[in-house]
């Protein structure tokens, strides 16, 4: 189901989005604070999206919800948002926006839209988000959404062979 906010349309992520998001996901600055790397090819990204489009983990213990974010203003994709819902009624949130659209309020608007949908659809969720302590932009976003700092994780090894320090933020 598509969701709309004032300036955005959140489209359920499907394999065809790989072609549409691939170029935006190539910017190295996106991966400075997250444990991921730019997709190597459109086909590999499509393969990943085929799995995510199933909307649940193979063992059935997690619900995977992912949306490509379309700007109604700029008429292009600006990133994606995601939520993983587990059997303990927690929703771990994630979001990636293309650098050209940072600082425009799109992340706040899209994540707020996603949270509103999750609150209406799934009852009594606890929201979580893990953030690198140096990612001030993301921490500010979570504060603006009413999240509070909860747990600190030190020396987490990342895909970039470095160590990061993550903080978990929660909202009930």
Q: Could you write out the DSSP letters of every residue in 91-132? A: EEEEEEE-GGGTTSSHHHHHHHHHHHHHHHHSTTPEEEEEEE
Six token digits for residue 165: 């320090």
Q: Dihedral sign, CA of 85, 115, 39, 161?
A: negative
Residue 166: what pLDDT? 84
Task: Kindly report the pTM of this predicted structure.
Answer: 0.91
**Digit-coded pLDDT (tens) for 136-172:** 999 999 999 999 998 765 554 544 445 557 889 999 8
**Digit-coded pLDDT (tens) for 92-122:** 999 999 999 999 999 999 999 999 999 999 9
């Amino acid at each position: 189901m598509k969701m709309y906010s004032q300036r955005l349309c959140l489209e359920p992520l499907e394999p065809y989005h790989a072609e549409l998001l691939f170029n935006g996901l190539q910017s190295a600055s996106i991966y400075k604070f997250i444990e991921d790397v730019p997709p190597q090819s459109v086909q590999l990204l499509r393969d990943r999206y085929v799995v995510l489009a199933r909307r649940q983990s193979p063992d059935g213990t997690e619900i995977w919800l992912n949306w490509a974010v379309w700007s109604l203003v700029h008429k292009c994709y600006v990133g994606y948002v995601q939520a993983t819902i587990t059997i303990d009624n927690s929703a771990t949130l994630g979001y990636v926006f293309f650098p050209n659209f940072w600082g425009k309020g799109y992340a706040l608007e899209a994540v707020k839209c996603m949270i509103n949908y999750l609150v209406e659809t799934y009852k009594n969720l606890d929201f979580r988000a893990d953030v690198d302590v140096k990612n001030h932009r993301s921490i500010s976003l979570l504060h603006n959404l009413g999240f509070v700092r909860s747990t600190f994780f030190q020396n987490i090894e990342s895909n970039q062979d470095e160590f990061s320090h993550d903080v978990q933020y929660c909202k009930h």
